[in-house]
Amino acid sequence: MTVNAVASVSLDPMLVLVCPGKKTKLAQRWQTLSGFTINILREDQQALSTYFAGAWREAVPPPFRFVPSGKAMRLEGCLAAIDCESDQIIDAGDHLVVIGRVLDLHVGIAPHRPLLFFRGRYHQLDIAQAVPAPDLMRSDEEPPHVFYER
């Protein structure tokens, strides 16, 4: 399935959240699941994204395979996968907010270029425009608050 949102919640304990629509088949089973895996797709996996979003229109699905990973299954060949155990499930309108405790991280094979979906379209990162992030862990004090202009 494809979810509406994935976000970091906490570093200690390490928690993430996903927001599946309530009408999805898997969302109707969340209460019975002990764990789940967030699979992050590579930029060359657009067909899989379309398939798992339910928008695939061809008779034969794109090739894929799941392999065991932690408490759930991981999509073989994905960019990265985050193994989680279910921590909380919150009812939120037409979606659920599922908070998962991170158990493990799987990093896939290179190149590590994510599939991006923004404003209804697929996009690619422009690595030529990359700027290093500030090192926020060099101080014993509270990390500086960094703001970027648009």
pLDDT, residue 90, reads: 92
Percent of the chain at pLDDT exceeding 90:
46
Is residue 83 very low, low, confident or very high in pLDDT (cuts 50, 70, 90)?
very high
pLDDT at 139 over 60: no
State if pTM tops 0.75: yes
pLDDT at 77 over 80: yes
Helix H or strand E encompassing 52: helix 46-52
Can you say whether residue 60 is alpha, beta or left, with left for phi > 0 and alpha for psi between -120 and 50 degrees?
Answer: beta
pLDDT at 142 over 80: no
pLDDT, residue 27, reads: 77
Distance CA 29, CA 18 (A): 14
1 versus 93: the higher-pLDDT residue is 93
- Ordered by start, the domain boundaries in the chain are 6-125
Round the average pLDDT of the chain to a whole number and report it. Answer: 86
Distance CA 84, CA 113 (A): 23
Please tell me the CATH superfamily of domain 6-125, with its number: Electron Transport, Fmn-binding Protein; Chain A (2.30.110.10)
Of 77, 26, 84, the closest CA to residue 52 belongs to: 26
pLDDT at 145 over 70: no
pLDDT, residue 15, reads: 96
